[in-house]
Chains A and B, each alone.
Chain A
Amino acid sequence: MSEEYVLEMRDIVKRFPGVVAVKNGQLTLKPGEVHCLVGENGAGKSTLMKILSGAQPMDSGAILLSGKPATIHSPHHAQQLGISMIYQEFNLSPYLSVAENIYLGREPRLGKSPFINWSKMYNDARSILNRIRVNLDVRKPVNECSVAQQQMVEIAKAISFNSRIIVMDEPSATLTDHELDALFELIAELKRQGIGMIYISHRLEEIFAIGDRVTVMRDGEYIDTKPVSDVTREDIIRMMVGRALTHEFPKEVFDLGEERLRIEGLSRKGGFKDVSFSLHRGEIVGLTGLVGAGRTEVARAIFGADRIDAGQIFLDGKPITVRSPQDAIRQGIGLLTEDRKNQGLILGMTIRENTTLANLKSLVRVLFVDRGRERRITSDFVRELQIKTPGIEQTAQNLSGGNQQKVVLAKWLFTESKVLIFDEPTRGIDVGAKVEIYRLMNDLVRKGVCILMISSELPEVLGMCDRILVMHEGHLAGSLDRKDATQERIMKLATGETLASIA
């Protein structure tokens, strides 16, 4: 190639215990180029970028900076080599000013004294902001800046390190349209200055707005790199999802019964708007969409964990009010949260105590918990769900992820709920345990429970659900029947297109 690359990543491999996160990562970046990196959740984009930023060591492969092989030891080292990351979560100190944040840890001194040279720091910060044409008071505390301005501060900080490579991970996720325009202008300015940028986004339209080339990853593998001008949106989606179902999904289809849960016009400010759907006996309904589309928020609202601003929930045809999880459980609604460790289990408590926590009152005999019955019930669940543990008095923190998830399941089975919401039920657990959890879902549905399953893993949604609801930016974008659903269609809805354009 005649052009000189500022960055080349070749044959990158990264393994985690039990899983290969990146199988053959490939990425090249020219000076002044915006290179978009796309793929589904779990495709390996983040891992690849963590390797580039020095946050994770790679197992094999090569990184070349301006043609010279480089080893990146740490995020700090990456910064010195001219590589900066702008994450979704900013690394800013909220009560310090813009200038203090830009020069945090390397403040200019008055001569060789320990005192900060404030006028130099403010002037330098101002000239950096001028260079990227951002108008911002350098003395303003960062917590008084808007999200977009904080992002500008992060970028200014990257520039102050003389970065030649800037990685932006979902920079648009929290911006308004107007702010996004400002970001694109800034990116154009950085391009003119010869800085190469790797741009990660779920919003495909942004690729066509600012991208020069696009690289697609899937299941940790490099798929292809194309000039943006040579591909269509459909091409990119096909490359992102084009795989056969590889896992085992023991789906059983049952006769559809009467309606169990119906929600109408459910809204919560800043979360989701006007969401309506219903669940019937005998079905598993999937709720999917991109991260941040509002799926978990809807589940939490139905469960009473967050307040709703508008809308009504009906259970078995009757309107119900759910003010707290306690209300929801009493009415027969359960939620298996996505975050097992902080929201699902009390890690310091035993399997027995976790199993019965949501329905302790059923074990009360004259004021006291009936320990004997509690032990028997827990032992039954441990046997039935094949929880691997030396005993029911084992604390939850000593169990593996899959077994922890089974304890959470046991807890909800013991509540004998009518409606169960599973939020990412198989995240972070191995394939074997996944299949066991799917089978359990079948058993529940057979008993008349209806299940709403939130998942980002499309194969799982396609494999296990009778109907799939897709959310996009807080709205219900559409509903697909099992027989009509494909990964392409789901991705279309999830990225904000209408089904009509699929044809």
Chain B
Amino acid sequence: MPHVATATSGRPAASTFLRVYGFLLVALALECAAFEVIARYQGIRPFLSVDNLILILNQSAIYGVVSVGMTFVIIAGGIDLSVGSLIAFGGVVGALVTRALADAGWWALGAGWAAAIMAGLAAGCFSGLFITRFQIPPFIATLAIMSSVRGAGYLIVGGSPVSDLPADYIFLGRYNIAGHVPVSVIVMLVAFAGGGILLNSTPFGRHVRAIGGGAESARLSGVPVNRVKWIVYCMCSVLAIVGGLILSSKMRSGDPTVGVGDELQVIAAVVVGGTSLSGGRGTIMGTFIGLLIIAVLATGLTWIGMESFGQQVILGIVILAAVLMDRFKGAA
């Protein structure tokens, strides 16, 4: 048998970490090193610096928050195409409610967030309803939600962005704690940490993986398949809304046109992070590293002066390479 003792229960945690994520970490390190070398060769400012690291994290905060939810959806064997629309919708709802209650100060901001999150829950419930009760494939159900939510965003603001927002509104997107650490980065890190614990250490996370690995076996083992799927789609929608709130806070406006195609960027991060699109297999940590690989790529290519069209070509190549490497690793 080729599979020799992979498993003894007392194996040190660090070596497990390296075995699972080593490949992705090496890719990330190589990428950073490459940009550093090119930057020096070109004689521009060095690529690797604390400021740049925070910049990269800050720029990936929105996709990062959303990718946590998407990881759960994909591990459960589904897909959620509605997150791009929800990013726009969250910003619109948050901005509208905050502006309407602007006199109430911080309360207005809280009310805006709460209203947006409720809207996200509603959208997630719809996705869950169609996917579980009516057995509509997730691709189709969330495609429909994507279209409707996009339209609803335009409808409630009449096509133009919500501006004239109170100064507090930029808290999520542009405020730095202790002068350096952006709130958005903290939100993202909390989402990743919470998602990781949920997936790895709770019965819920185990159930999500069981469903993706074999829904019928899971059901016949007493896993409440429909309820778990429902929660997963609600979670993903709410996290997309949070991402939308961060984006709208960064722009200090609620713009219904943003987020088009973001669902694919988020799926890319999840897939590069080693999560299998056929379900059952994937990690939150992998998604985090996948996200960084893509963010470093975008930032680095800009840093060395490549224009955005070229960046898109390279991103495509990186996605393919990541998935091929993952398959190669699986076969080895």
Contact = CB atoms under 8 A, between A and B. Distances in A.
Given A367-B202, A368-B201, A394-B3, A305 B220 contact: yes
Contact of A326 (B1, B7, B9, B222): B222
B121 to A, nearest CB: 21
Interface string A331-375: 000010100001111111110010001111100100111010001
Interface string B270-294: 0000000000110000000000000
A343 B217 contact: yes
Nearest to A370: B201
Interface in A388-407: 390-394, 398
Contacts of A346: 209-210, 213-214, 217-218, 280
B220 A390 contact: no
Contacts of A368: 197, 201-202
A398 B220 CA distance: 21
Interface in B267-320: 280-281
A329 interface: yes
Contact of B203 (A324, A347, A369, A393): A369
- What secondary structure prevails in chain B residues at the interface with A? loop
Interface in A316-330: 324-326, 328-330
A192 B4 CA distance: 63
Interface in A213-231: none
B206 interface: yes
Interface in A151-209: none
A361 B281 contact: no
B133 to A, nearest CB: 14
A398 B1 contact: yes
A411 B210 contact: no
Contacts, number: 99
Contact of B5 (A324, A326, A375, A390): A390
Interface residues of B, number: 29
Contacts of A371: 201
Interface string B180-210: 0000000000000000010001110011011
B223 A326 contact: yes
B135 interface: no
A305 B207 CA distance: 18
A379 interface: yes
B15 interface: no
B203 A364 contact: yes
B8 interface: yes
Contact of A369 (B6, B201, B216, B223): B201
Given A348-B281, A360-B203, A390 B4 contact: yes
23 contacts: A324-B219, A324-B224, A325-B220, A325-B222, A326-B223, A329-B221, A343-B220, A348-B280, A349-B209, A349-B210, A349-B213, A350-B7, A353-B206, A357-B218, A357-B221, A357-B222, A358-B221, A360-B206, A367-B202, A379-B9, A390-B6, A391-B6, A394-B3
Interface pairs A-B: 9 shortest CB-CB? A393-B7, A391-B7, A329-B222, A346-B213, A358-B221, A348-B213, A368-B201, A390-B5, A326-B222
